[in-house]
Structure 1
Amino acid sequence: MPRIVIQNLGNLRIDSEHPDRKVIEIIHQNGTDWMHACGKKGRCTTCKMIVVEGMENLSPETDREVFYRNQNRLKPNERLCCQSLLLKDELVIRVAEVNKFPHLDYTE
């Protein structure tokens, strides 16, 4: 069963019964807020996640992610939640400082 662990949200664990779902969809269906500004279409980078472990459990980069990476708007350990499918196993991520919501309590 695929699982997302969000480190700086108190190691929040989110299990998904279905593989091949977008990371942002899994997070939102759990009732957890995650920033996105373009309607989950890959037109911005507000939903970026920092991947701590499990990059190999994600789908390959999309053209949109490559576009932003080439503009230096995504670091090697960052992906877009709206473009990345969680295929299997566990993904450990962090919310980027610039994408934190003021109403959530983040941990380090």
Structure 2
Amino acid sequence: MPKTVKLDPINEKVDILTNDNLLSGLLAKDLNVWKECGGRGMCSTCHVFITDGMESLSPVNRREIRTMEVITTAGKCSRLACQARVIGDGVVVEVPSGMYVNEIDNIEDLIGSRAKDNILHPITGALLVEKDKLVTRTMITQLKDTQVEVAEYMAKVQDA
């Protein structure tokens, strides 16, 4: 029997089959959540915050703990959506607000414009550029460096 999971801050709901992971529901809603490692709990790109109902999810496993150690924004209510299986009702998930740097096709096009959304680091979840901030050449260099860092990290994860 499906469980209803609430998605904040977009105030939507998604039904997820009992014992299916949160990621399946988030992807069904076309939300800004990745699965770079294919749902193996190794890349942290599906990091979400559980604002209510943590007890209605499967327990955190060792792999998830190790992966979340690299996420600078992780806290007590953090989970990897690919590893958190829904076992009960009452789960409320805070979905990422913004876009990941590797979603940007041509970073150079951003110079001199204002960021339309928060630009986030896909591994650590760190805020790289705040929404409505003017994008400078210095920021572009940092964003490009981050893209390279992410590509190298993902290549290592895929080889593991």
TM class, shorter-chain normalised? Answer: 0.7 to 0.9
Root mean square deviation of aligned Cα: 2.2
Seen in structure 2, the aligned counterparts of structure 1 residues 21 and 42 have a Cα distance that, compared at 3 Å, is same
In the alignment, what sits opposite 2:12? 12
**2:87 paired with 1:82:** no
Letter in 2 for 1:92: V
Deviations along 1:47-90, one digit per CA (max 9) or x if unpaired, are: 01111001000000011122134x36231110000001010102
The 8 Å contact of residues 35 and 101 in structure 1, kept in 2 or not, is answered as no
Classify 1:31/1:72 alpha carbon distance in 2 versus 1 (closer, same or farther; 3 Å): closer
CA distance in 1, matches of 2:92, 2:38: 24
Paired residues of 2:48 and 2:80 also in contact (CA < 8 A): yes
Q: After the TM superposition, which parts of structure 1 deviate over 6 Å for at least 4 consecutive aligned residues?
A: none
Equivalent pairs, count: 98
Shift of 1:39: 1.3
User: Kindly tell me: are residues 46 and 6 of structure 1, through their superposed partners in 2, closer, same or farther at Cα, counting changes over 3 Å?
Assistant: same
Task: Give the structure with higher Rg (CA).
Answer: 2
Q: State percent identity of aligned pairs.
A: 24
Greater helix fraction, Structure 1 or Structure 2: 2
Matches within 5 A, 1:1-108: 1-8=2-9, 10-16=10-16, 18-28=17-27, 30-33=28-31, 34-69=33-68, 71=69, 73=71, 74-97=74-97, 100-101=98-99
TM-score (norm 1): 0.77
Distance 1:72 1:27, change over 3 A: closer
Distance 1:31 1:56 in 2: 23
Stretches of structure 1 that go unaligned for 5 or more consecutive residues are none
The CA deviation at 1:36 is 2.3
Structure 2: which 5+ runs fail to align?
Answer: 104-116, 118-160
Task: State the Cα deviation string for residues 9-49 of structure 1 (Å, max 9, x = none).
Answer: x2110023x20101101222x34232222111111111011
Read off the aligned partner of 1:67 and give its amino acid letter.
Answer: R
